[in-house]
Each structure stands twice: as C-alpha cells, then as structure tokens.
Amino acid sequence: MPVDLQSLYPKLVHLMLDTVFVVDGDNQILFVSDACESLLGYRADELTGTLITNYMHPDDLALTQDSIVRVMNGQHHVDFRNRYLRKDGSTVHILWSARWYEDEEVRIGVARDVTALMQAEEELRFLAHHDPLTKLTNRSLFYDRLVSGLSAARRHQSSLALLFLDINDFKMINDTYGHAMGDGVLCTVARRLESCLRETDTVARMGGDEFTVLLTDIQSVEAVTRKVDQILTVMAEPLGAEFGEISMPSCSIGMAYYPADGDDADTLLRHADSAMYKVKGNR
C-alpha cells in the first residue's frame, strides 16, 4: 500500500524538535508547531493569531526587524541568532532559518534553541581570559591590559602604576590544611583585592599565590602608596569562621611606576616583581 506523504507532512512538522513558525507579512503568527511549548513555554493555540514581535527580546527587536526585511526581500537567512522572552519571563537564544514565500505571502522560520550553546561559548570565552579558580583576569589578559594602558598613558601623557603582590607563607597553608583551604584563601584574597579597586583598574592572578594590580591614570605616587596601605589593611582582616583556626596570611607588595620605572610592560613587571621580593626579604 503506497504511503500518502501529503497526510504525513503535518505529523512530521509536529514531530520536529525544532519549532516551525508560519508568519504573514504583518508578523501575525498563522501556524506554529508543537515544539513551541518547549521553546517559549506557550502552547501553539496561545501563539496563533498574535504578533511574533511580541515575544522578541526588546534589545534584539531592531536587529530582528532588519532581518525580517531582508528575508521578505528574498534573502534566505540560515544562521540568524536572536533572543526571545519565554512565558515565564526567562530569555531563550534562538538560531533561525527563515524564508519568505511570495506566492503564499508567508514567512516560514525554523527555530532552534541554542541557549546552552551560547552559555558554553560565553564560558569558554571567559575561561580563555580568566583564572578558573578566582575568576580574576589571567596573566595573558592582564599583559594585554598593561600594554593598552601604557599606550593610553603615552598618548595622554599620564601615569600608571603596577603592583605585584605575593602571599607570605602560603605554602604552609597548603601543606598544613590542604589545597581546598588554600584555594579558599586565594579566592578571599581575590575578592578583597577587587573591593579595593576602581572599575578602571585591573587585578589578575598571575599564578600560584601571586597577583598583580594595574592602576591607570594615577594622580601621584602618594595616591598609589595610599592604595597599597588600603590593600594591606583589608588583607589583614581575619578570615571567616569557615576557615577555622587558619589566620589570614600577610602579603608583600612591590610597586612600579610609568614612566619612572620603565616604559614597557616587561620592564615594569620585572621592576614590580623585584620590588616585591625586596619587601618580602625585609619582613
């Protein structure tokens, strides 16, 4: 017995994991497949007869309307991404394939939920430039920020300062209390450093128990000295009860200034590192 493919097409559409939308020239939804409930949280009958623009994320509306115009002018979109608002108010990232059919005067779009993919991509981008433990800027991004900061300082004939910070006797914490406790101390140091800085400053974990701070557009050497005193004061505060008997370790900070101590990134880093070890040796 031959299969009636025509009668199977509607069943196939509703079986698809991706959502199929049929929209007229005025953006009114004429048809939507059953997968829409998983995508947007609405049943098909709730969406039919409403405007598809009602569900678009406001920040993506203008970009999406430009895409709609291109599709209706005959350009088949196969990789357009935007965001929609689900029934519960959450945001879903969607990858679209859409085409305008002139004879039927409808736009057919196939929508795929790529929220998990977008989140994974964002996480990978973050991890490429941040320390996975403390979430601070990593060595690579800090170096780029330092180079950029130096370029800006040269253009504007301004100054910047570089701080190199090392936690004293940190190895003892790892050896005595374990690496989990040591990691907790490192994260505490990271949060305390962040609390001392402006949004325009950058703090990074360079590796192990070493951190760097970039202070841009500084007004005076005295201002940097006050900032170092503030960091040392904050770092001296006791650890929380979750650390038990562990005392907050002290830290040693070395400073380097542009242009007094060097005019390139490597020279400033070496100077700050050397200054830190001098401080450490004088404890």
Contact 176, 154 (CB under 8 A): no
Condensed to tens digits (0 to 9), the pLDDT of residues 128-144 reads 999 999 999 999 999 99
Q: Which tokens is 54 given?
A: 């009602």
Question: Residue 4: its pLDDT value, please?
Answer: 65
Domain count along the chain: 2
| Same-domain pairing of 235 and 95 | no
Q: Say what the pTM is.
A: 0.73
| Same-domain pairing of 9 and 136 | no
User: Which residues of the chain fall short of a pLDDT of 70?
Assistant: 1-5, 283
**Domain annotation covers residue 124:** no
Question: Residue 13: its pLDDT value, please?
Answer: 83
Question: Residue 3: its pLDDT value, please?
Answer: 62
Question: Residue 79: its pLDDT value, please?
Answer: 87
**Domain annotation covers residue 141:** yes
Condensed to tens digits (0 to 9), the pLDDT of residues 50-96 reads 999 999 999 999 999 999 999 998 888 888 999 999 999 999 999 99
| Same-domain pairing of 147 and 78 | no
Query: Which residues does residue 100 pair with via DSSP β-bridges, in sequence order?
Result: 107
Long-range contacts of 175-178 (CB under 8 A, 24+ apart): 177/246
Catalytic positions are: 209
Query: 75 lies in which domain range?
Result: 5-119
Q: How many CB atoms lie within 10 A of CB 193?
A: 24
Residue 126 CB-density burial (10 A; 0-12 exposed, 13-18 middle, 19+ buried) = exposed
| Same-domain pairing of 135 and 252 | yes
